[in-house]
A and B are shown apart, each in its own frame.
Chain A
Amino acid sequence: MKKELKIKETQTKQKEQKRTNPLAHVFDDFIDFCQSKSLFMLHYCTGCGAIELPPAMTSRFDMERLGVQPMVTPRQADILLVTGYVSVKTLKRVILTYEQMQSPKYVIGICSCTVNGGMYWQSYATAKKLNEYMPVDVYIAGCMPRPEAVLEGLHRLKHNIKNDRKEQKGSAWKDYYQNYDYYLGNQQNLFGDEWQTPVDVIAEAKLYGLESDGTYGENTKKLEKVQQPLLEQEMKIRMKP
């Protein structure tokens, strides 16, 4: 299995080098364009910022004309909106949700609380900077930002999606695979060394050829020690007596 994966990686690297044809990226550009035009949004409404989303979605500001639609499960979503402060207990759920989303995936942090803790700076139970635990594409600062600011942030995200590959900036979601050790370390600092999610990020990075030097490190070694393989759950039907 490992050999096959290695072959796959080298093949993809060679492909990227070979592309000198000016028309080689037409299809990629088209997909990028469509991705920027159609964004399904999963909002994790943790704090007070969530109250600014209904006006942004409904008749006053109407997000749907930008192609942004609310979705209800992480599998279908492209954007994870974190609206407000993230307590330590909430952050676990946010990370679980983020890892279940399918790439390319984007994170938007709304409100000052996600930027630097905001008014919860001195709180013992609040995670201060969201981008220490997962890569954030766009921050929308404000306490709380108005719907215009939210739409402006979405416009910025759309612009980034359309132009990131052309300008060779690299996408934020790839950073989670490429620097997984850094993000995992910060997560372990908060949740303890036995922290483990159902999604095997390292295996995914290997499968899609996204691993780099930053994927492995001290923290992933710690994870390997405690990591339990995911087993199939036993089928049980509980009958009422």
Chain B
Amino acid sequence: MSVIELISELIFMPLIAFVVGLMMVLMMRKISARLQRRIGPPFFQPIYDIVKLYGKDTQISHGLIHDIGIVMAVGGYIGAELLLPVPGMEGIADKGGIITLSYFLMIPSLGLALGVGQCANPNGSIGISRALTAMLAYDIPFIIVVFGAAWHYESTSLVGMIEYQQAHSWGIVEMPFLAIAGLFALQGMLGKQPFEIYIAPAEIATGPMVEMSGKYMGGLFVMQTFQLYTAGVLYASLFLGGGESWLSLLPKAFLVVAIPMSIAFMFPRYKTEDLIRILWKWPVMLALIGLAFIL
């Protein structure tokens, strides 16, 4: 691979992720609107929101760490996009593999924790402590799932995993228990009901986002687009055979993201300790059973 090719891939992979992520945000808002029998936002609404937030006339910064925290939150996901192979572009995926990727997925939460810490808003502190606790809860099943997948495909490289699935059969057929546990972890990772205690708009005023105004909030909106894209494409590469082309990858990724949103409104919210209890009990149990079948 030539240097120019690599650089162009490093530029285009996050860009495509951003555009697809915008569509995913729109889809989520449309699904929630349809479930509530509303029409929902217009097509370009996610772009309007982001441009407006960056175009605010006054911005409140609470200090240097507040600024850096947001950069870490967005940057962590941009780093993750480069390690996530997509049709036609591999970026630096063969250098990193899924273990590096799972480390990158933790950086945004930590960056957010740094940023929110300097805001000194009690709601924010409560929110971020809950968010980090939730991360502890959903990362255990997630890591077991990743370990199981890597063991089964005999590779820690996502490229290798996708090649294996395209040669044999999809991961969801060969290890259904791990796939279900992965969906559980995904629900927690995206912070959808019943695992959205750290956002809780009515109680702690959106928790970590409480002091974010203007471009800081805009940064978080951008982060959300990357988050949805990463979750969808990662799950599709692990269990749904990745994609030979964009036409086969994108429907899978959109479907994966649509599942948590469609079932979110059936649930109320779990308390933090119940959230840990349920995530360390059921998905972990399912994942361990799945692991027992593979080993």
Q: Which residues of A contact B (CB under 8 A)?
A: 30-31, 34-35, 37-38, 58-59, 62, 64-65, 67, 71-73, 75-76, 78, 102-104, 204, 208
Docked CA distance A37–B58 (Å): 19
Docked-complex contact A103 and B40, CB < 8 angstroms? no
Is B268 among interface residues, defined by CB-CB distance under 8 A?
no
Chain B residues contacting A34 (CB-CB under 8 Å) are 47-48, 51-52, 55
Residue of A nearest to B33 (CB): A64
New contact pairs (17) apart from A31-B51, A37-B44, A103-B56, CB-CB < 8 Å: A30-B51, A31-B52, A31-B55, A34-B48, A37-B48, A38-B49, A38-B51, A38-B52, A67-B41, A67-B42, A72-B202, A72-B206, A73-B205, A75-B60, A75-B210, A102-B57, A208-B58
Which one of B37, B40, B52, B214 contacts A65 once the chains associate, using CB atoms below 8 Å? B40
Docked CA distance A30–B52 (Å): 9
Chain B residues contacting A62 (CB-CB under 8 Å) are 33, 38-40
Chain A residues contacting B245 (CB-CB under 8 Å) are none
Docked CA distance A72–B201 (Å): 6
Chain B residues contacting A208 (CB-CB under 8 Å) are 57-58
State the majority secondary structure of interface residues on B: loop
Q: What's the minimum C-beta distance from B215 to chain A, rounded to whole angstroms?
A: 10
Chain A residues contacting B40 (CB-CB under 8 Å) are 62, 64-65
Mask: chain B, 101-138; 1 = CB below 8 Å from A; 0 = not = 00000000000000000000000000000000000000
Is B178 among interface residues, defined by CB-CB distance under 8 A?
no
Residue of A nearest to B39 (CB): A65
Docked-complex contact A35 and B55, CB < 8 angstroms? yes
Residue of B nearest to A174 (CB): B57
Q: How large is the interface on B (under 10, 10 to 19, 20 to 34, 35 or more residues)?
A: 20 to 34
Docked CA distance A95–B41 (Å): 31
Docked CA distance A104–B58 (Å): 8
Docked-complex contact A102 and B55, CB < 8 angstroms? no
Given contacts A31-B52, A76-B213, A76-B217, contact A59 B36 (CB under 8 A): yes
Docked CA distance A37–B43 (Å): 11
Docked CA distance A75–B206 (Å): 11
Chain B residues contacting A37 (CB-CB under 8 Å) are 42, 44-45, 48, 52
Is B211 among interface residues, defined by CB-CB distance under 8 A?
yes
Chain A residues contacting B37 (CB-CB under 8 Å) are 59
Given contacts A34-B48, A37-B48, A102-B58, contact A75 B213 (CB under 8 A): yes
Q: When A and B form their complex, which 4 residue pairs have the shortest distance between CB atoms, in order from nearest?
A: A31-B55, A75-B213, A38-B48, A34-B51
Residue of B nearest to A199 (CB): B60
Docked CA distance A52–B213 (Å): 28
Q: What's the minimum C-beta distance from A231 to chain B, rounded to whole angstroms?
A: 13
Is B82 among interface residues, defined by CB-CB distance under 8 A?
no
Docked CA distance A73–B39 (Å): 25
Docked-complex contact A58 and B36, CB < 8 angstroms? yes
Docked-complex contact B211 and A75, CB < 8 angstroms? yes
Mask: chain B, 64-105; 1 = CB below 8 Å from A; 0 = not = 000000000000000000000000000000000000000000
Determine which residue in B42, B55, B202, B212 has the highest number of CB atoms from chain A within 10 A of its CB, and name it.
B55
Chain A residues contacting B41 (CB-CB under 8 Å) are 64-65, 67
Chain B residues contacting A30 (CB-CB under 8 Å) are 51
Docked CA distance A38–B50 (Å): 9
Which one of A59, A65, A73 contacts B210 once the chains associate, using CB atoms below 8 Å? A73
Q: What's the minimum C-beta distance from B266 to chain A, rounded to whole angstroms?
A: 18
A-B contact pairs, 23 of them (CB 8 A): A30-B51, A34-B55, A38-B49, A38-B52, A58-B36, A59-B36, A62-B40, A64-B33, A64-B38, A64-B40, A65-B39, A65-B42, A67-B45, A72-B201, A72-B206, A73-B205, A73-B206, A73-B211, A102-B57, A102-B58, A103-B57, A208-B57, A208-B58
Docked-complex contact B57 and A104, CB < 8 angstroms? yes
